[in-house]
A and B are shown apart, each in its own frame.
Chain A
């Protein structure tokens, strides 16, 4: 082997070369590793979506969306109304991902949803074919102090502009305690029908909208999974699921009865009232010194 690379003799001269090779390798690996650490930490921050940025219709849950969206902008091109934007480096949304801001330019809710089928990966779920099924976010009346409906003034702009009219936002008529003779027309959003298009937020007449579209995970509460609402269970099964309440024998003082399903606690005339004027007596009951 006395070929082209003459400097590669045997044994000793190769050692420094190998040492340098390993050194370079370690240097490169460390450099790239540090870069990776920085990038990973950056990604944690940069991947968080500000509450004002709403994803296009059909967008997968945010964590999945960030894995699936190639940031190609085909949805932006598909949008006939300048609603969707791609995030630039300085925007708060992750660079290159599509979003819209409801207060500036809400979703028009096109019947054919042109932004969805053009998505090459399905980050915008192609299964969404009815725009009324879209859940881009959820409108929330975030400031009841500022919303003039709560002051007893007539507005109802959000109710009237809502494309799922009467369903996504309804008006709850309440008594106006202040005037004593008028009604409050309170806007109430229903998550079963609100698509999160943001028209209400755009239309809100206040300087700063009192109704805002928030990302679903921010807007929605969730009942404990073990909770059952009795009346719903009852309606579902056509009757009570537990043994019907029956006459109990209550350990009541003399002269008192309990009428189940009727008048409730009945205190016979003339009987001593078991309740003293001093509420502390109730607490102290049983603690009296032996007589």
Chain B
């Protein structure tokens, strides 16, 4: 397909709008819903979840703490955090170990709304060029963040971390939110395609490592049906994760997208005209039958879709 064309068009014609936008819409509802829950306190006085993504308290009982921030805290030399933070970080870490680390990126993080918008506009305006960052830059960034904590003895990255700046800015009504939105949007639009979330964000890198072994995965069980339309590669924020699973049959690779960098956003599932992908579990990493037989396989998408 060419640059300006709308990805998912064929699938939409075949299966209707909702079934080709279901995961996208659910994701947006999740992202906005979480923001909304945080905002209910300050705006309507209904306290469901207090704090922000760095640390929060759900229904005055369940604590949550960003595990990367917790790690930075330890590296910075604060070795005796209160039990609340320990429990909170463990809860969050456990959740993402289970559902896939970068589920945070695609289902929770408010920055994703901004960078997805930039990515979408870049596609529609058929913009090319900009700088070419290596996908591995984010792991350097992650190392840098921890090194900075060690050297400065403080959570130094939090001074500029756009993820927490944006979320905190929205929840606490600080002007920083607008600044971050603008900077990230322009960066992703003009400077680098999928620049922040796909190449630089150390939180994404961290969650990618967390989710490297998580059981919930996107599977390309119907990869034999792939007709190389490339729509999944166009919509995917981390297209490098698709190839090994989708095109690895000859090399003896299984159909499960194993890379922790996959955000489990589910966009590939719904835009594929051939319905190659589905949410499923990590095991077994081999095709579940062929053709029609696989339709009845216990994939998550089947249960949730209808």
Contact = CB atoms under 8 A, between A and B. Distances in A.
Contacts of A94: 154, 159
Interface string B134-150: 10110011011001110
A24 B171 CA distance: 39
Nearest to B251: A4
Nearest to B84: A120
Given A32-B141, A67-B154, A74-B56, 19 more contacts: A4-B248, A28-B133, A39-B156, A40-B151, A40-B152, A67-B155, A70-B65, A70-B66, A70-B69, A71-B168, A72-B55, A88-B169, A88-B174, A119-B82, A121-B55, A121-B81, A121-B82, A122-B85, A123-B78
Nearest to B137: A28
B76 interface: yes
| Size band of the interface chain A makes with B | 35 or more
Scoring B63, B66, B172 by chain A CB atoms within 10 A of each residue's CB, the highest score goes to B172
Interface in B85-128: 85, 88
A25 B56 CA distance: 38
Contacts of A28: 133-134, 136-137, 140
Interface in A191-217: none
Nearest to B75: A67
| Size band of the interface chain B makes with A | 35 or more
A95 interface: yes
Contact of A3 (B54, B78, B137, B250): B250
Contacts of B52: 71-73
Contact of A72 (B54, B148, B174, B250): B54
B152 A43 contact: yes
B18 to A, nearest CB: 37
Given A46-B159, A72-B56, A73-B51, A36 B137 contact: no
B57 interface: yes
A69 B81 CA distance: 10
B231 interface: no
Nearest to A76: B172
Interface in A1-45: 3-4, 24, 27-29, 31-33, 35-36, 39-40, 42-44
A162 B179 CA distance: 41
Which 3 pairs between the two chains have the least Cβ-Cβ distance?
A72-B55, A122-B82, A66-B154
A126 interface: yes
B157 to A, nearest CB: 7
Interface in A54-76: 63-64, 66-74, 76
A120 B57 contact: yes
B137 A70 contact: no
Scoring B143, B144, B157, B175 by chain A CB atoms within 10 A of each residue's CB, the highest score goes to B144
B179 A89 contact: yes
Contact of A121 (B56, B73, B136, B168): B73
B156 A47 contact: yes
Given A39-B160, A47-B152, A32 B176 contact: no
A63 B69 CA distance: 17
Interface string B60-85: 00010110011001001110111011
Contacts of A43: 148, 152, 154, 156, 159
Given A68-B81, A70-B66, A70-B155, A77 B50 contact: yes
Contacts of B81: 68, 120-122
A95 B65 contact: no
A24 B134 CA distance: 8
B175 A88 contact: yes
Contact of A36 (B70, B147, B179): B147
11 contacts: A40-B148, A68-B73, A68-B78, A71-B52, A73-B172, A74-B50, A77-B42, A94-B159, A96-B165, A120-B81, A121-B81
A89 B78 CA distance: 24
